[in-house]
């Protein structure tokens, strides 16, 4: 079966109302977005044609011309269904699609995204941006999604999402300035109806462009802990976040904690803020193939039991609390996964001083699939961060069935739920006692896994898509 439940190879399932033959050319496992294809099939008894994987744009267009049919294809991860509304991908020298008939299902909304982070960041905000695009393309495929970035990188956006960079000489010459001062005009030229700033920023002039806007604010850590940032960075982040929150049609906060900070620190009215939680990569939400986790364990040389911590190894993540607790937890090592900063060297020195240097292992550059296996195999996941806007690693751990120990207060109970364990971020003895008790109580760990999976339901792709869609509909009037 082809995607969307249409038989591969076509096969006429009935004549269209007009008596004409209607179809779509597709490539490989991608084709007309599933909801639109299903709607077209139901409404018109469409016959779908399949062309070989890797077919060129010209071959797709040729299939359409031979049958006088509108072509709908994906090439290099870019949606080229409607080149009449934007220029075709660079790999195509001519338009791919014929004009749509009046009955043809149209996208219900044309949505643009600030996708700089999706193209350029491999973790953190980059993962968040890619997950949002993937979730919307899969769960709400009827819309048209366009990811805008100053520098495009192949393979960073999912099928069903177009990628666009600067369309004029100025933007191509100075792409970083285009993102701030030129993007709003391009959104207007591209007839974007709604723009979503995914990383706390909106382009200048968006409120005068006729394009409605929402912005996601992840946290105001730079306001709460200014000592962790250089003075210039803190001022820039504060100016961008405050201005974006003031100018957006609605503000999306990734947690109730961030909403509270926006109200208290920037005087944003609560009725202008909507909370939409963050999700996580599908690798953490699906069951592994038989034997896959054991294979990862052998390849990475994983011990049978270990504590796991995930996130950038920086002072705010507070991994030192776990290192200091290790002497009271004999026999169990700590695996710390994430990009290292100078703080990692401090932790190595501390581990050496405490005599646990051989029990602390740092890993980086781990794939999502391997990371999911690390979560599933760990004895306890420990996340002692001092402050977060949300905490995606907690959600990854919940979906993976790992018992979670994290920080009391702040956003952490919101993210980790009632089944997790909590300690103060400075309480070494409290962490040691909590982890030791869990290591000796399989029944409690199993209960925490079950409660965590139940709490994780609020972070599913379906829940995230519904929350975002509701905001888009509300701000669009």
pLDDT digits (tens, 9 = 90+) for 332-366: 999 999 999 999 999 999 999 999 999 999 999 99
- Annotate 67-88 with b (16+ C-beta within 10 A) or e (fewer): bebbbbbbbebbbbbbbeebeb
pLDDT in tens, 229-279: 999 999 999 999 999 999 999 999 999 999 999 999 999 999 999 999 999
Q: Is the separation of the CB atoms in 185 and 192 below 8 Å?
A: no
Give the pLDDT confidence score for residue 107 in this predicted structure.
Answer: 56
Other beta carbons within 10 Å of 173: 10
Whether pLDDT at 62 is above 70:
no
Q: What is the CA radius of gyration of the chain?
A: 25
Residue 106: pLDDT band with limits 50, 70, 90: low
- When mean pLDDT is compared across 57-71, 140-154, 243-257, 382-396, the lowest value belongs to 57-71
Of all residues in the chain, the percent with pLDDT exceeding 90 is 75
Give the pLDDT confidence score for residue 64 in this predicted structure.
Answer: 45
Average the pLDDT over 168-194 and give the result.
Answer: 95
Average the pLDDT over 280-288 and give the result.
Answer: 94
Whether pLDDT at 11 is above 90:
no
Show the tokens assigned to 388: 């977060």
Residue 121: pLDDT band with limits 50, 70, 90: confident
Higher pLDDT, 164 or 63: 164
Nearest CA-CA partner of 226 in 235, 218, 217:
235
Alpha carbons 446 and 329: distance in angstroms, whole number: 20
Whether pLDDT at 17 is above 90:
no
Average the pLDDT over 286-314 and give the result.
Answer: 96
**Secondary structure in 3-state letters for the chain:** CCHHHCCCCCCCCCCCCCCCCCCCEEECCECCCHHHHHHHHHHHCCCCEEECCCCCHHHHHHHHHHHCCCCCCEECCEECCCCCCCCCCCCCCCCCCCCCCCCCCCCCCEEEEECHHHHHCCCCHHHHHHHHHHHHHHHCCCCEEEEECCCCCCCCCCCCEEEECCCCHHHHHCHHHHHHHHHHHHHHHCCCCEEEECCCCCCCCHHHCCCEEEEEECCCHHHHCHHHCCHHHHHHHHHHHHHHHHHCCEEEECCHHHHHHHHHHHCCCHHHEEECCCCCCHHHCCCCCCCHHHHHHHHHCCCCCCEEEECCECHHHCCHHHHHHHHHCCCCCEEEECCECHHHHHHHHHHHHHCCHHHEEEECCCCHHHHHHHHHHCCEEEECCCCCCCCHHHHHHHHHCCCEEEECCCCHHHHHCCCCEEECCCCHHHHHHHHHHHHCCHHHHHHHHHHHHHHHHHHCHHHHHHHHHHHHHHHHC
Taking the domain 110-279+461-476, which CATH number applies? Answer: 3.40.50.2000
Give the pLDDT confidence score for residue 108 in this predicted structure.
Answer: 86
Whether pLDDT at 405 is above 90:
yes
Class of 288-459 per CATH?
alpha beta
pLDDT in tens, 450-463: 999 999 999 999 99
Whether pLDDT at 23 is above 90:
no
What does the mean pLDDT of the chain come to? Answer: 83
Higher pLDDT, 80 or 102: 102
Alpha carbons 23 and 14: distance in angstroms, whole number: 12
Whether pLDDT at 213 is above 50:
yes
Alpha carbons 412 and 202: distance in angstroms, whole number: 28
Give the pLDDT confidence score for residue 80 in this predicted structure.
Answer: 35
Higher pLDDT, 353 or 44: 353
Residue 477: pLDDT band with limits 50, 70, 90: confident
pLDDT in tens, 125-177: 889 999 999 999 999 999 999 999 999 999 999 999 999 999 999 999 999 99
Whether pLDDT at 439 is above 80:
yes
User: Structural domain boundaries of the chain?
Assistant: 3-79, 110-279+461-476, 288-459
Residues linked to residue 114 through DSSP beta bridges, in sequence order: 148, 197
Give the pLDDT confidence score for residue 28 in this predicted structure.
Answer: 31
User: For tokens 């994906």, what's the residue?
Assistant: 74
């Amino acid at each position: 079966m082809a995607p969307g439940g249409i038989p591969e190879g076509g096969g006429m399932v009935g004549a269209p109302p007009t008596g004409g033959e209607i179809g779509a050319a597709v490539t490989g496992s991608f084709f007309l977005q599933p909801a639109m294809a299903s709607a077209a099939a139901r409404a018109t008894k469409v016959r779908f044609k399949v062309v070989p994987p890797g077919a060129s744009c010209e071959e797709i267009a040729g299939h359409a011309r031979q049958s006088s049919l509108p072509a709908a294809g994906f090439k290099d991860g870019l949606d080229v269904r409607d080149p009449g509304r934007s220029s075709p991908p660079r790999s195509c020298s001519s338009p791919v699609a014929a004009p749509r008939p009046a009955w043809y299902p149209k996208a219900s909304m044309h949505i643009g995204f600030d996708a700089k982070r999706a193209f350029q960041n491999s973790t953190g905000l980059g993962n968040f941006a890619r997950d949002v695009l993937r979730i919307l393309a899969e769960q709400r495929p009827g819309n048209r999604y366009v990811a805008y970035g100053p520098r495009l990188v192949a393979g960073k956006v999912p099928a069903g999402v177009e990628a666009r960079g600067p369309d004029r000489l100025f933007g191509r010459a100075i792409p970083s300035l285009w993102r701030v001062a030129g993007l709003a005009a391009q959104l207007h030229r591209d007839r974007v109806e709604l723009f979503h700033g995914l990383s706390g920023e909106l382009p200048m002039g968006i409120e005068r462009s006729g394009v409605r806007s929402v912005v996601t604010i992840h946290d105001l850590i730079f306001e709460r802990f200014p000592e962790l940032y250089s003075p210039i960075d803190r001022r820039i982040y504060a100016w961008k976040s405050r201005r974006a929150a003031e100018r957006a049609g609605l503000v999306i906060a990734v947690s109730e904690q961030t909403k509270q900070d926006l109200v208290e620190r920037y005087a944003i009215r609560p009725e202008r803020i909507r909370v939409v939680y963050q999700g996580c990569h599908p690798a953490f939400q699906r069951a592994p193939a038989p034997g896959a986790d054991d294979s990862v364990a052998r390849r990475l040389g994983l011990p049978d039991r270990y504590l796991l911590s995930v996130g950038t190894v920086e002072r705010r993540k507070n991994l030192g609390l776990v290192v200091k607790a290790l002497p009271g937890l004999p026999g169990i090592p700590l695996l710390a996964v994430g990009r290292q900063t100078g703080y990692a060297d401090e932790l190595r020195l501390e581990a050496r001083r405490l005599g646990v240097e051989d029990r602390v292992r740092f890993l980086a550059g781990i794939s999502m699939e391997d990371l999911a296996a690390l979560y599933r195999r760990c004895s306890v996941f420990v996340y002692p961060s001092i402050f977060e806007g949300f905490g995606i690693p907690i959600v990854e751990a919940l979906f993976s069935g790992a018992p979670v120990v994290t920080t009391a207060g702040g956003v952490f109970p919101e993210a980790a739920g009632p089944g997790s364990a909590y300690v103060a971020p400075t309480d070494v003895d409290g962490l040691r006692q909590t982890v030791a008790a869990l290591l000796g109580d399989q029944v409690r760990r199993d209960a925490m896994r079950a409660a965590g999976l139940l709490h994780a339901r609020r972070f599913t792709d379906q829940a995230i898509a519904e929350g975002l869609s509701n905001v888009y509909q509300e701000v669009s009037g």
